Structure 1
Amino acid sequence: MVAVDEGEFVLLNDLPVEDATLDLPGTSMVAGELANLIYGSRGSTPFVLAVDGRWGTGKSTLMRQLSEILARRPDVETVWFNAWTASGVSALTGMLKLVLGRLDRNVVRRAFRRLRDNEVLGGSLRIGAGVAASFFRLDRALDQLWAQMSVDARAREQARDLLATALGSWIDEQTGQPRHTIVVFVDDLDRCGEATAIEICEAIKLYLDLPGIAFVLGCDLAVLSRISLPAAESGGHVREYLEKIVQVNYQIPVAAEATVTTMIRGYAQRSRTAHLLTEPLVALIGRQCAGNPRRVKRLINSFVAEYQLDPRWREFGADGLLKSVLLQHLYPDLYREILTTGGDVLGGLLAYRAARDWLLTHGRVPTGEDLQAGRQLLVAYGISQPSAQDPADVWERAVGQFEGRVPEAWRLLAGNEDCRMLVRDLGPEPERLRLQHRLRRRPLSTAPTPVEPPAADEARYEGLRLLWIDASPAGNEPMIDGLTARGAQVRTSTDTRQALEILPLFQPNAVISDISRGGEERAGFEGLRVLRQAGYAGPALFFTSRVDDDRRRLAAAVDAAITASAGRVGEWAQAQAAVAAQPGPVDDRARGRK
């Protein structure tokens, strides 16, 4: 391999891949088979094929390749409908315009005249005899039709009649089948607002259910099946509605390990990071990102951007930065623990695993450096170490005490071998400490918060007014960004004094707080007690790096929950948002905080 200067890393784009030679996720073969299916079934139009998959799994790439293949087939026209820009009736008019735009102008003009002569088109849409030679008048009449469709149901029926009449010219009189096919691609349907998604489905079902038209929908059907239909009382009704629209569903499968490995290595080559992504790291990324192409690209891009934005990483080393980004993206609880806790947090995870295994096996695990550090950790947390002569319940009681005192991030990751491998790969204690000290002084600025609008199946937080109190807010920014992107209002303060100033102006209905501030181990508990005295009666959560029995007791004394998990914070916030959305007096909702 040609040596690459570390300053030449480049970002990866997130555009769908149309060129099969650049198709790292390996969807070109599937696109070819689906193209054969659609082309061979064109005599069975109308029909709808759904490309079903979660965010980032390659739906758009597959659809772009499918469109490119079909466009080369004879008697096939392909069009793309941008669902993002449509709203309300504009979804219907936009789709009708796209389809009519693919038809021969003479065909549309003759269809318009036929409907006029049969008095199907009424009112201002009835055009004069001169239309036979005037495309300008036809355009003007069509513009009138589109304008009336937003307010006139009859105009929508007239538009369908016009399209059906025009498409009728494609029908072979002998076989009764269309000689041409228009394939309409609608991507990201599940990411639209509910009203737009329903309007598009209604357009497909009621107005464009015509011979000669096929639809390819890109969506997550599991998300789409949860939209609110006017007459639906259950999820079953929604599924039945979708089954009437979608005739065949291709679900993007989980990629094979070899495909994922090839994809990651290909992205590494393009971004010029291949010399950093060792074989074990490639395997780790593939497993922890579940083969999702977008997650892999975002991880690599975060590394590239961080390296370019902060020149001091060039002095520290690209390898250490890459592993820091992996910690931030794949193990956010552990990354936050590093930012908010002193010492060797990563080494502590290894020691905790060794001590835990030693206790669980009643002292029968092999000895080693980690075990020695683990037994020292037991002493540090005040856990009496059982002896070989002690009965099983003594060992089990020690395990329970130990689990209740160590950081929750350690407990959650104790069995994660990928995380353990990554931590070991950071080197011995001096190198680990140097990296962690660097992150505490200057946390990573490229947080893995999604840039695009949240998917319909992601948690929503409208109505949540959250006051977040933390002396070191940097580690919370990704979570705060995620909450605000999903509709929450969040105000932050670094101490109780600022929180008291915000309280009457913002009137929060939820509070999250740290515990230790400025050397005071219980500042958060006292701060919440002050807020309660000032009139705040709503739910509260302490988000901290360490949860033990003493802290649980102190949190309960001020009527608050406590956690060390970022995931639990999201669940708690979602629950409070749901309470806030319930009708009824604010005080009653606040009292239901638990």
Structure 2
Amino acid sequence: MPGRPPDPARTCHNARMAAQPPTHATAFGSLGAGTGATLALVNDEPVAAAGDDILGTGRAAAQLARLLHASRASTPFTLAVDAGWGMGKSSLMRLVDARLRAEPDVETVWYNAWTSTGADALEGLVKSVLVRFERRTLKRALSRISRGRTVVRGVRAVTTALGGALGAAGLVDELWTSWDAGPEARNGMREEIGHMAREWAANAPRRLLVVFIDDLDRCSEETVLAVCEALKVYLDVPGLVFVVGCDRSALGPSGLLRDLSPAGSAFMEKIFQTSYRIPVADNDGVGAYVEWCARTAGIEGMLDDGLKRLLVERSGRNPRRIKRLVNGFVLEATLNPVWSGFRPEAVIRTLLLQYFYPEFYRMMTGASNAPAEDVVGEFTTYRRVRRTLLATAPPDPQEAAPEFASYEEAGAFFGQYELSAPAPEQDGEAALEQLERRLPVGFPEHADDPGFTSLLADLLQVQDAERLLVLLREGAPAPVEVPDYAEPPVGVGSAPYGEEEPYGRPLPPWSQQGSPMPPMPAQSQPGYSGIPPAPPWDTGSDRPPSPPALEGMRILWVDDHPENNTHLVRTMRGLGARVAVVRDREEAEREMAVGRFEVLISDITRGSDQSAGLDALRHWRTSGTYNGPAVFLSSRITPERLEAATALRAPIFNNGDVLLNHVSEIAANPGPEPPVPAPRSSAGPPG
């Protein structure tokens, strides 16, 4: 990502710090060595056997299985196993399934709704149920349907005759084909399924079929409605019980199904006759789970009681989050040379910050354009200045309270952003508002978040915290030399853009010089723009699409540090784009003079000029030099920059994956510009 050149004095200081040995002897990179421990990753599969049940889910599963078995006379009904992401829905359902399969008069079937899309979910679920019926039951149903339809009687007679060669799946396919013939055929579907279910259940008195549907809250709205249609319209017949794993809060009008009419909302309420909300495990139970994960991963000796408590508290007692944190710890211990010499507590606290506040972590570990490139120091100073400006009474200079900044310190902080120092008698809120326009947009939100501030304070209290922050930002020294055959950075030693093959795409109308460009939708102000590449607790409900080909697309990328964008440029070229990489405004204008481009990507800061990219685009828009889509890539997004970029019809992203998806949308829709994707703010700690 773009960033200002490092200050030479700061660089020398940081290099000396990185070379200094830590103040303690324990080397994290060698932890586990010599102890006989083998580090391993913990799998994220649901519990399927009682022996793997650490949180005591098996007790609830046994009781729930007995209840379902005893309720056979009350079928049909649907039970929701309700819990948030990672709280054990699938594990509970798997254990219930194992209990029920031990009963001679119970059949079970699993259907993962996430594997289907839209209307296919209706067909997939119905077929998953029918295939559990006996083959003779299916054949008789197919025969009844054939006899009842004079139009297709000849065809169905042949099908029935051939039924002897078909297995259960083939017979189910034939049944579905007959029902899919039209509305009249579909109307009889529920009645026929009920007939089959009663016939199947009669083969063994009071027989029960339990259908487990998992991950419903991770599906699209269309898929959810298709599953609900199957449950309520076609499969609501005696002998069937549905156990649906989902987060009920995600399926209401204010959640996934936000566009439902009131009638549709009432329909959803009818789907689930009852719900079981999985309770959050107590601290002792989760503590035992942490110890089990640590033993499995081979890091039990690295986590003292304090770190175990930290994992319990900061994870929100969420089993999946605990596994992710333990696995992250193992990967860092195994692969990241930054941690050589640091204690495990430093790793755990850094991972918590990375997982819960990915946007701040991205700034903390990259080019943040903060004073001295230290966004942590910038935030902590901002928070102290903020308290001073919002205090009802000026802080006493004699007391020197650490949570407040003196007016001299506040004045110096304002000066870093070319703002006048606030006076004690000045309106503090107005001064603060002026300052926050030049700070990252997430700062005010994080300053009010006790989870974030306490986590950051904990990180700053670890041994060698300053050295750690430098290494996270600048990287550890490479353990081996870079081979001679390493590829050069993009823009260095690469072929001139003009020597590439001729363009293969027609120019969109707005790419002609002086042509008006379609208006761009207004961009909402994020709490840090962009989406993390792989959010650690992502439910998967909004799986990002693979970027389409950019075949022949012409892109001009302006950045005075092109080496920061090497991977993205190569990715775009691999997708077929023609990417010209230049370092400044003058080089960009020379490229524009000989060719036209469909997308302009630019940094904002160049050297000491904090608005070079904005100023250049403003000039090109005004002069008509470039009227096409433009995108800014910057690690530092402030309200002031957002306002300026919006006026220039250019979104700002701080994440390369999001930028790539946006460019892909432009490639897929070369007319009007695609809307800016709605940003997601950093996830906070649970609770």
TM-score scaled to structure 2, two decimals?
Answer: 0.64
SS in 1 for 2:615: helix
Matched with 1:326 is 352
Matched with 1:362 is 394
Is 2:195 aligned against 1:165?
yes
Matched with 2:263 is 237
Is 2:246 aligned against 1:219?
yes
Query: 1:50·1:217 contact (CA, 8 Å) conserved in 2?
Result: yes
Q: Distance in 1 between matches of 2:255 and 2:428?
A: 53
Name whichever of 430-439 and 10-19 sits farther off: 430-439
Shift of 1:21: 4.3
Kindly report which structure 2 residues correspond to 1:540-551, keeping only aligned pairs within 5 A, or say none.
543=634, 545=636, 547=638
Name whichever of 210-219 and 284-293 sits farther off: 284-293
Shift of 1:435: 1.8
Change (3 A) 1:64 1:109: same
Residue type at the aligned position of 1:441: E
Q: Distance in 2 between matches of 1:30 and 1:88?
A: 33
Query: 2:218·2:541 contact (CA, 8 Å) conserved in 1?
Result: yes
Query: 1:89·1:150 contact (CA, 8 Å) conserved in 2?
Result: no
Residue type at the aligned position of 1:10: A
Is 2:672 aligned against 1:586?
yes
Matched with 1:305 is 331
Change (3 A) 1:76 1:208: same
Gaps in structure 2 of 5+ consecutive residues: 1-30, 477-531, 677-687
Is 2:65 aligned against 1:52?
no
Shift of 1:195: 4.2
Residue type at the aligned position of 1:528: L
Matched with 2:236 is 209
Matched with 1:381 is 414
Is 2:157 aligned against 1:126?
yes
Q: Distance in 2 between matches of 1:477 and 1:33?
A: 57
Gaps in structure 1 of 5+ consecutive residues: none
Name whichever of 312-321 and 238-247 sits farther off: 312-321
Name whichever of 217-226 and 236-245 sits farther off: 217-226
Of 6, 13, 16, 2:46 maps to: 16
Shift of 1:51: 2.4
Please report the RMSD computed on the Cα atoms of aligned residues, expressed in angstroms: 5.5
Kindly report which structure 2 residues correspond to 1:7-406, keeping only aligned pairs within 5 A, or say none.
8-24=38-54, 26-87=56-117, 91-109=121-139, 122-126=153-157, 134=164, 142-152=172-182, 163-169=193-199, 179-225=206-252, 234-253=260-279, 256=282, 259-277=285-303, 281-282=307-308, 285-286=311-312, 288-311=314-337, 313-314=339-340, 319-338=345-364, 339-341=366-368, 342-359=372-389, 360=391, 361-364=393-396, 366-367=399-400, 376=409, 378-382=411-415, 384=421, 391=425, 393=426, 399=432, 403=436, 406=439
Q: Distance in 1 between matches of 2:642 and 2:185?
A: 65
Is 2:547 aligned against 1:449?
no
Kindly report which structure 2 residues correspond to 1:515-534, keeping only aligned pairs within 5 A, or say none.
515-532=604-621, 533=623, 534=625
Q: Distance in 2 between matches of 1:399 and 1:89?
A: 53
Residue type at the aligned position of 2:90: S
Change (3 A) 1:254 1:531: farther
Name whichever of 235-244 and 97-106 sits farther off: 97-106
Name whichever of 450-459 and 7-16 sits farther off: 450-459
Query: 1:182·1:212 contact (CA, 8 Å) conserved in 2?
Result: yes
Change (3 A) 1:565 1:237: farther
**Number of residues paired by the alignment?**
558
- Identical residues among aligned pairs (%): 31
Query: 2:630·2:649 contact (CA, 8 Å) conserved in 1?
Result: yes
Query: 1:17·1:23 contact (CA, 8 Å) conserved in 2?
Result: yes
Shift of 1:63: 1.7
Query: 2:291·2:300 contact (CA, 8 Å) conserved in 1?
Result: yes
Q: Distance in 1 between matches of 2:442 and 2:254?
A: 35
Q: Distance in 2 between matches of 1:546 and 1:165?
A: 63
Shift of 1:83: 2.6
Q: Distance in 1 between matches of 2:289 and 2:563?
A: 33
Query: 2:384·2:403 contact (CA, 8 Å) conserved in 1?
Result: yes
Q: Distance in 2 between matches of 1:474 and 1:318?
A: 33
Matched with 1:439 is 472
Q: Which has the higher contact order (CA 8 A, sep 6+)?
A: 2
Q: Distance in 1 between matches of 2:321 and 2:580?
A: 29
Shift of 1:184: 0.7
Shift of 1:78: 0.8
Q: Distance in 2 between matches of 1:477 and 1:260?
A: 43
Q: Distance in 1 between matches of 2:545 and 2:146?
A: 51
